[in-house]
Amino acid sequence: MRELVRGYALAIRDVLGEARVLGVVEEIRSVVELARATPVLAEAAEDRGIPATLRSQAVCDVLEGRISPAALRLIGFVVRSELPGVVIDGLEEATRVLHESFVIEGPADFATRSRVRGYAAGWIDSCSRGALTGLVSELTALLHLLEANSALERFLSGYSSTAEARTEVVEELFASRLSQELLHILRAAAGTSGVRSIRELVELLQLDAAKSLNLYVAEVITAKEPTTSQRERLLEFLATESARDVELDWRVDPAILGGLVALVGDRLYDASVATQLDRARRALVDQV
């Protein structure tokens, strides 16, 4: 089973709670039995010649209304994310994963970055649109905190710290400040084994959450704090240019002197005074 899928199943367990997850386990077992007895359904889930998203949609269309939304989300994710040829086995494995811990006990097992992203995806898919919009904003604020506090970032990244110590710090610092969704996700991120950049991981999760909203998080840099009117005008401009909803991640950096720099997806808008001066300097050098 892919670690991404394992993480997603673990999130479904935590979203539902122990009592309700037992029903999802039974539903998925029934679907596995149906797939093994129905070649057409198994082929729809496993066919290598069909794109994963289409296979997932086809299976979900057949099952919609027959099983709970949580079981349907999990099955759709397994079909979409697992390798063709082992999807049905992956669904069967998911019923066992729903009873596991995030970090599985064993000499060779550990929580990977992929497991964290899958775990976050399970929470993201379980959120309402309003809650998910708030989650994107929380992740943005958390990124700013980690960038401003290098000691905290290094500690939560695993430098000279154990997973137990990191999760304890997450509880102490954030239990009363973050939504339950992000608190669960951050616990998982801090609980990974080995050293990895917590900031880079949070940034990936921010992008994953924004993508599920069809939302761009625009990174904007200005020389000084903008006014409300300036924010609104830029937000309207970037949303029109990108043809998507946009959330502004605004930072102040006096080094750009004036103007602004905005990164929206893979498009860079650089209207900073520093860049304009550099272009002018290069033009003068070329003329000499």
Of 179, 212, 245, which closes a domain? 212
**Residue 97, pLDDT score:** 87
Of 197, 212, 227, which closes a domain? 212
In a domain, 276, yes or no: yes
In a domain, 53, yes or no: yes
**Residue 99, pLDDT score:** 81
Q: What is the mean pLDDT of each run of 10 residues along the chain (288 residues)?
A: 89 87 92 89 85 89 91 93 90 88 51 85 89 88 90 90 88 92 90 80 87 71 76 73 67 69 63 58 58
In a domain, 114, yes or no: no
Residue 46 half-sphere exposure toward CB, CA atoms < 13 A: 16
Both 91 and 7 in a single domain?
yes
Total of domains in the chain: 3
Residues spanned by the domain of 232: 215-287
**Residue 211, pLDDT score:** 80
Both 244 and 233 in a single domain?
yes
In a domain, 161, yes or no: yes
In a domain, 104, yes or no: no
Tokens 């097992």: give the residue: 109
Of 187, 212, 237, which closes a domain? 212
